[in-house]
Amino acid sequence: MSKQLIVPYKAPAWAQQGLPSEFVPTSRIELAVMPTPIREWKLPDLPEGFEVLIKRDDMTGSSLSGNKVRKLEFLLADAINRGCKHIITCGSFQSNHCRATSIACAQLGLQCHLYLRSAVTDETQIKYEGNLLLDRLVGANLYFVEKENSYMTQLNQTKLQMDELALKIKEETGEEASAIPVGGSTTLGNWGYFNCFEEIRNQGVEFDDIVCCVGSGGTIAGLAIGNYLCGSPYRVHGVLASEKSVVFAEYVDDSLKAYGLFDKVGAFDIISWHQEYMEPGYDENTPEQLEFIAETTQATGILLDNCYTGKAAYGMVQLIKNKPEVFKGRRVLFLHSGGMFSLGCENVRGAILPSSTKGKTTMCDKPVNP
Contacts of 132 (CB under 8 A, 6+ apart): 93, 94, 99, 116, 126, 142
- Domain residues of the chain, as ranges? 2-66+186-348, 68-184
Catalytic residue among 95, 102, 185, 216: 95
Strands 176-179 and 51-56: unpaired
- For the segment(s) 2-66+186-348, the CATH number from 3.40.50.1100, 3.40.190.80, 3.40.50.150, 3.40.50.620 is 3.40.50.1100
Tell me the CATH architecture of domain 68-184.
Answer: 3-Layer(aba) Sandwich (3.40)
> Is 95 assigned a catalytic role?
yes
pTM of the model: 0.95
**Cβ(275)–Cβ(245) below 8 Å:** yes
- Kindly state the helix (H) or strand (E) to which residue 68 belongs, with its residue range: helix 68-81
Instruction: Check if 2-66+186-348 and 68-184 are the same fold.
Output: yes
Do the beta carbons of residue 184 and residue 78 sit within 8 Å?
no
Which neighbouring-strand residues pair with 86? 111, 177
273 contacts 294 by C-beta, under 8 angstroms? no
Tens-binned pLDDT, residue by residue, of the chain (370 aa): 567 789 999 999 999 999 999 999 999 999 999 999 999 999 999 999 999 999 999 999 999 999 999 999 999 999 999 999 999 999 999 999 999 999 999 999 999 999 999 887 677 888 999 999 999 999 999 999 988 777 788 888 999 999 999 999 999 999 999 999 999 999 999 999 999 999 999 999 999 999 999 999 999 999 999 999 999 999 999 999 987 788 899 999 999 999 999 999 999 999 999 999 988 888 889 999 999 999 999 999 999 999 999 999 999 999 999 999 999 999 999 999 999 998 888 888 888 877 665 777 777 776 656 5
